[in-house]
Amino acid sequence: MSEVGSNGGTATQTTIATRGGSKTTIPEEAVDAFDERVQGRLLVPTDPEFEAATRLWNGMIEKSPALVVQPTGTADVADAVNFAREHDLELSVRGGGHNIAGTALADGGFTIDMSELRGVIVDPKAQTVTAQAGCLLRDVDRETQLHGLATPLGFVSETGLAGLTLGGGFGYLTRRFGWTVDNLLEVEIVTADGEVRRASRDENEDLFWAIRGAGHNFGVITSFTFRLHEVGPMVYGGLIAWPFDRADEVLDTYRELTDEGPRELTVFHILRRAPPAPFVPEEWHGKRICAMAVCYTGDLDDVDDALAPIRGLGDPVVDLLQEQPYTQLQSYLDATQPKGNHYYWKTEFASELPDELCSTVRELTEECPIPGAQLVLAHIGGALNERDADDGSVGNRDARFVYGVAGMWEPDEPNEDDYRQWVRDAWERLRPFSTGGNYVNFQTADEGEERVRATYGEHFDRLQESKARYDPENVFRTNRNISPADGDR
């Protein structure tokens, strides 16, 4: 750690934000004692590693904490939680830093950055994996695929495992195996009182229920154990796209696929302008297209049958569908979402794709002024719909699609305000088709408590009760927050 005081305090103290929104100063001895106790690094803004530890994926959000600790184990995490609570600090927890609302950091506060904790242990016989909470998705897929195993994770490999899992989690395997949290067997967690607990279906069951969907609110998870399934290592998929003037036909085929296709087939439908990527013929750069991101994880002998409706459309302008390793498909879309660009999304869950939703999506694509924006329909229906409504706080078991509008532009974009407004207006036209639920992990910083309530629906009150039990002072509040029942807001 550099000399304390460089973050705005005097030479002998650290000035830092408190939970009440004011500032406090921590004496040098207290910070030094904490620094000596933990094995991991303690960083202040003048340290060379500070910038990397506090850069977020969404470049629209810039926050600078006053202190960052990088634990090397659970004991460091417990010390950090106790330090934050004892000094009443505004605390945040950083996983992969991918959250669009930038909830990994609290401005002027204290951040527990989990990035040093990236161990993964696979038990191929038991078909389980235990992963530390600083893992990115690719860390987990890489190890499990050594054994031809996988658990449902998202489709951009740089995303953090912790943030994704704690809000529910979905990806190409969700149709077969449910939400990511449907595959969660156990966690280790440091709760607000500094205690290290385990939670599973047999131990601290109420905590385990709350963590499976609203997990950012209940402590610092240090490790996750998931059930694994046989997947790959070779699967079939990639991107395929047609001219936008065929949108009606492509959308009809998409609906047919999502009604009748096998669970081993997952297709995300994307309407956008073609990026100037080497795999897109030059004459299509910047032109509107209808694309499908495809993943087929079934028996490769049956792939032609599964993909027949897609192939039947004929004459694509891009066709990158091929047999490839599952890990490659899991990172296929990484380059389309570069770190540091500005991102602004609005999404909902839908249970059907009525004509009117399809025509609205098509019209919005025609009208969209943002060159890098996309209108997305992601198929998730299947296993998640078959579980009990209260199997975990994640709920939303009527959702068969995640859909919405995803705006992206470069940091120096002069039309940023207009673009954001356009996304909000587009969302107003998309909202009528929602189940009423939405995905907590896709909420932007300007979405308030009513959206968090909508995410959890009938589970919200029970979550507030759990919050009152495990975090009555709302120590974990830099997130899509659930305030404790009758407690500190």
Ligand X SMILES: Cc1cc2nc3c(=O)[nH]c(=O)nc-3n(C[C@H](O)[C@H](O)[C@H](O)COP(=O)(O)OP(=O)(O)OC[C@H]3O[C@@H](n4cnc5c(N)ncnc54)[C@H](O)[C@@H]3O)c2cc1C
Asked if residues 465 and 485 have their Cβ atoms less than 8 Å apart, the reply is: yes
User: Phi, psi at residue 366, to the nearest 5°?
Assistant: -65, -35
- Does position 57 interact with ligand X (CB under 6 A)? The reply is yes
Q: Indicate the residue among 222 and 365 with the shorter CB distance to ligand X.
A: 222
Least distance from C-beta 445 to ligand X, angstroms? 11
Query: Stretches 148-156, 266-274, 382-390, 450-458: which one binds ligand X (CB under 6 A)?
Result: 148-156
3-class DSSP state of 150: strand
Q: Indicate the residue among 391 and 471 with the shorter CB distance to ligand X.
A: 471
Interface residue with ligand X, options 5, 9, 71, 171 (CB under 6 A):
171
Instruction: Return the beta strands (E) in 228-287 as ranges.
Output: 229-230, 234-243, 265-273
Q: Indicate the residue among 13 and 441 with the shorter CB distance to ligand X.
A: 441
Interface residue with ligand X, options 5, 9, 108, 169 (CB under 6 A):
169
Q: Indicate the residue among 128 and 478 with the shorter CB distance to ligand X.
A: 478
- Does position 92 interact with ligand X (CB under 6 A)? The reply is yes
Q: Indicate the residue among 153 and 271 with the shorter CB distance to ligand X.
A: 153
Least distance from C-beta 283 to ligand X, angstroms? 28
Most distant CA pair in the chain, distance: 71
Q: Indicate the residue among 65 and 160 with the shorter CB distance to ligand X.
A: 160
**CA angle in degrees (0–180, nearest 5) for 95-340-426:** 95
- Does position 477 interact with ligand X (CB under 6 A)? The reply is no
Least distance from C-beta 344 to ligand X, angstroms? 12
- Does position 103 interact with ligand X (CB under 6 A)? The reply is yes
Least distance from C-beta 478 to ligand X, angstroms? 6
Cis? peptide before 309, omega within 30° of 0: no
Distances in Å between the alpha carbon of 89 and those of 65, 106, 187, 232, 488?
A: 11, 10, 25, 46, 15
The dihedral of CA 148, 154, 160, 165: what is its sign? negative
Query: Stretches 159-167, 244-252, 388-396, 429-437: which one binds ligand X (CB under 6 A)?
Result: 159-167
3-class DSSP state of 8: coil
Interface residue with ligand X, options 50, 83, 110, 155 (CB under 6 A):
155
Total of residues contacting ligand X (CB under 6 A): 34
Interface residue with ligand X, options 221, 291, 376, 426 (CB under 6 A):
221
DSSP 79-105: HHHHHHHHTTB-EEEESSS--TT-TT-
Q: Give dist(CA 444, CA 451) in Å, integer.
A: 10
Q: Indicate the residue among 2 and 385 with the shorter CB distance to ligand X.
A: 385
- Does position 216 interact with ligand X (CB under 6 A)? The reply is yes
Interface residue with ligand X, options 40, 71, 95, 437 (CB under 6 A):
95
Q: Give dist(CA 411, CA 482) in Å, integer.
A: 31
Q: Indicate the residue among 221 and 280 with the shorter CB distance to ligand X.
A: 221
Q: Indicate the residue among 464 and 478 with the shorter CB distance to ligand X.
A: 478
- Does position 40 interact with ligand X (CB under 6 A)? The reply is no
Exposed e or buried b per residue across 161-177, where buried means at least 16 C-beta atoms within 10 angstroms of its C-beta = bbbbbbbbbbbbbbbbb
Count Cβ atoms below 10 Å from residue 289 Cβ, excluding itself: 23
DSSP 197-239: EEEESSSSHHHHHHHHHHGGGS-EEEEEEEE-EE--SEEEEEE
Contacts of 328 (CB under 8 A, 6+ apart): none
- Does position 78 interact with ligand X (CB under 6 A)? The reply is no
Interface residue with ligand X, options 5, 71, 109, 160 (CB under 6 A):
160
Q: Six-digit token pair at 237?
A: 């998929």
Interface residue with ligand X, options 97, 213, 437, 484 (CB under 6 A):
97
Q: Rg of the chain's alpha carbons, rounded to an integer? A: 23
Interface residue with ligand X, options 42, 93, 292, 454 (CB under 6 A):
93
Interface residue with ligand X, options 13, 14, 115, 159 (CB under 6 A):
159
Q: Indicate the residue among 441 and 474 with the shorter CB distance to ligand X.
A: 441
Q: Six-digit token pair at 189?
A: 């967690």
Query: Stretches 3-11, 149-157, 404-412, 444-452: which one binds ligand X (CB under 6 A)?
Result: 149-157
Interface residue with ligand X, options 16, 38, 42, 104 (CB under 6 A):
104
Least distance from C-beta 98 to ligand X, angstroms? 3
First-to-last alpha carbon distance for the chain, in angstroms, is 33
Footprint on this chain of ligand X (rule: CB under 6 A): 57, 92-100, 103-104, 114, 133, 154-156, 159-160, 162-164, 166-167, 169-171, 216, 220-221, 337, 441, 478-479
